[in-house]
């Protein structure tokens, strides 16, 4: 699809013009409200900085968490505004509201190169409304903030699979462009779907099979191996007739997993051992057991060392690797070895020339939390769900609208 990008907009000149930027600043917060992983903020900086440096009056819109269409102090973008300002090396104003009196007043006072962040866009129920008229009304108010000569830059790849006011509808009202981040993500995913060097290995983790079903079905015919870990592996193990104790299990997906295993027996690879515990807690005592010997009263919280060894042989010679989802509860040190082991194998393959993509979300957070160098991977995506839907071949509304004139 032909999409105009940021360089096209900058070539026209943006000095003195209002530019509305949809960024993905949905970062994880600790209980005290501090940012635990600033990855998405850092990834959003190049587009915002390029526009500000070129003299645009930049109005940024983004969401944080899942407020129920009304203000929630715990999900204010205040810590994000401070962190974004540090990364940009300049003050980032935060409006008290989304498109209300404070947002309008601040937008009117912007001078060339200023950056204004609107409060959490999902505080307004129209953002996620299924009613097109409601979304359009919010989109028009957003457009008013940048004026008649304004432009829209879509740079929140993590939300391009959503048909929302700040992602989709504003692009129908303004000249629209893909930001640096969105253009880069699309380029990487096109490479994964069209010109893939083999052997091609896919590593899938996370909790639910249902979240990854579409991508498994799509990639099983393209990949040489699909390695499965994380909570979702227990539904596959159950489909093989094994007992999984009290491990996470999607019983309604067992038949589907059985069919996948039957159809793609030469592609899908499961763990051979599991790290189990009596309870889901960081201080629970870990025990390594064979995958076919999980005790009735215990739950699996990570893949075991034998599984890492097995997966290493599959991944070490791969030319292309796509990884989405941790292998275990990496937030608990005792159950992080599986995720770290697999990540280190992917990084080693990358060092030998493989093209590796970390598919956003928890996988990206795990790379940073475990202290692994980000440049050890070819690309770390900012959009887990969007990446998966793209690879499934689904139409992403936020990208489709950018390709329209």
Query: Are 290 and 231 members of one domain?
Result: yes
Nearest to 334 by CA among 281, 278, 298: 281
CATH number at residue 178: 3.40.50.1260
- Residue 122 backbone phi and psi in degrees, to 5: -80, 0
Residues 6+ apart with CB under 8 A from 239: 254, 255, 257, 258, 260, 261
Residues 6+ apart with CB under 8 A from 375: none
Count of structural domains within the chain: 2
Query: Are 53 and 15 members of one domain?
Result: yes
Last residue of a domain, one of 134, 162, 183: 183
Query: Are 173 and 202 members of one domain?
Result: no
Helix (H, G, I), strand (E, B) or coil at 283: coil
> Which range of residues forms the domain containing residue 217?
196-391
Query: Are 316 and 385 members of one domain?
Result: yes
Instruction: Give the predicted TM-score (pTM) of the model.
Output: 0.87
Place of tokens 């082991």: 341
Binding residues for ATP: 212, 300, 331, 360-363
Query: Are 265 and 386 members of one domain?
Result: yes
Q: Could you list the beta-strand ranges (E) of 304-342.
A: 320-324
Query: Are 343 and 237 members of one domain?
Result: yes
Binding residues: 24-26, 40, 63-66, 122, 162, 212, 300, 331, 360-363
179: its two tokens:
């930001």
Query: Are 167 and 68 members of one domain?
Result: yes
Task: Look at residue 396 and tell me if it is in a domain.
Answer: no
340: its two tokens:
């770290």
Last residue of a domain, one of 183, 205, 234: 183
Last residue of a domain, one of 157, 183, 209: 183
Query: Are 282 and 337 members of one domain?
Result: yes
- pLDDT tens digits for the chain (405 residues)? 579 999 999 999 999 999 999 999 999 999 898 998 898 999 999 999 999 999 999 999 999 999 989 999 999 999 999 999 999 999 999 999 999 999 999 999 999 999 999 999 999 999 999 999 999 999 999 999 999 899 999 999 999 999 999 999 999 999 999 999 999 999 998 888 887 899 999 999 988 898 899 899 999 998 999 999 999 999 999 999 999 999 999 999 999 999 999 999 999 999 999 999 999 999 999 999 999 999 999 999 999 999 999 999 889 999 999 999 999 999 999 999 999 999 999 999 999 999 999 986 788 888 888 888 888 999 998 887 888 888 888 889 999 999 976
What residues are annotated to the active site?
Answer: 40, 208, 361, 385
Query: Are 77 and 152 members of one domain?
Result: yes
Helix (H, G, I), strand (E, B) or coil at 27: coil
Q: Could you list the beta-strand ranges (E) of 40-108.
A: 57-61, 92-94
Place of tokens 């699909």: 226
């Amino acid at each position: 699809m032909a999409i105009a990008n940021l360089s096209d907009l900058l070539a026209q000149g943006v000095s003195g013009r209002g530019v509305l930027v949809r960024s993905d600043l949905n970062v994880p917060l600790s209980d005290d409200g501090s940012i635990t992983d600033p990855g998405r903020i850092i990834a959003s900086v190049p587009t915002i900085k390029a526009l500000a440096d070129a003299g645009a009056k930049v109005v940024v819109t983004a969401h944080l968490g899942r407020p129920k269409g009304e203000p929630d102090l715990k999900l204010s973008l205040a810590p994000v505004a401070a962190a974004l300002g540090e990364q940009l090396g300049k003050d980032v104003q935060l409006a008290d509201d989304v498109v209300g009196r404070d947002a309008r007043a601040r937008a009117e006072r912007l001078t060339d190169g200023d950056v204004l962040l609107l409060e959490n866009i999902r505080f307004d129920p129209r953002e996620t409304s299924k009613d097109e008229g409601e979304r359009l009304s919010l989109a028009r108010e957003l457009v008013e903030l940048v004026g008649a000569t304004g432009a829209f830059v879509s740079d929140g790849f993590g939300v391009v699979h959503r048909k929302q006011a700040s992602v989709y509808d504003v692009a129908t009202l303004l000249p629209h462009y893909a930001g640096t981040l969105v253009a880069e993500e699309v380029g990487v995913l096109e490479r994964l779907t069209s010109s893939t060097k083999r052997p091609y290995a896919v590593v899938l983790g996370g909790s639910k099979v249902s979240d990854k079903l579409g991508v498994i079905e799509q990639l099983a015919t393209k990949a040489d191996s699909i390695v499965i870990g994380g909570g979702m592996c227990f539904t596959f193990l159950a489909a093989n007739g094994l007992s999984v104790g009290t491990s996470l299990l999607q019983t309604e997906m067992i038949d589907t997993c059985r069919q996948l295993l039957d159809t793609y027996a030469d592609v899908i690879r499961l763990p051979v051992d599991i790290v189990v515990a009596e309870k889901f807690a960081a201080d629970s005592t870990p025990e390594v057991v064979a995958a076919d010997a999980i005790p009735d009263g215990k739950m699996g919280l990570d893949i075991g060392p034998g599984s890492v060894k097995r997966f290493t042989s599959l991944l070490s010679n791969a030319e292309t690797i796509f990884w989405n989802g941790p292998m275990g509860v990496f937030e608990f040190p005792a159950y992080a070895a599986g995720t770290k082991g697999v990540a280190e194998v992917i990084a080693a393959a990358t060092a030998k020339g493989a093209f590796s993509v970390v598919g956003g979300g928890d996988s990206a957070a795990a790379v940073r939390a475990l202290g692994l160098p980000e440049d050890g991977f070819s690309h770390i995506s900012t959009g887990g769900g969007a990446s998966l839907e793209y690879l499934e071949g689904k139409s992403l509304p936020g990208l489709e609208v950018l390709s329209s004139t």
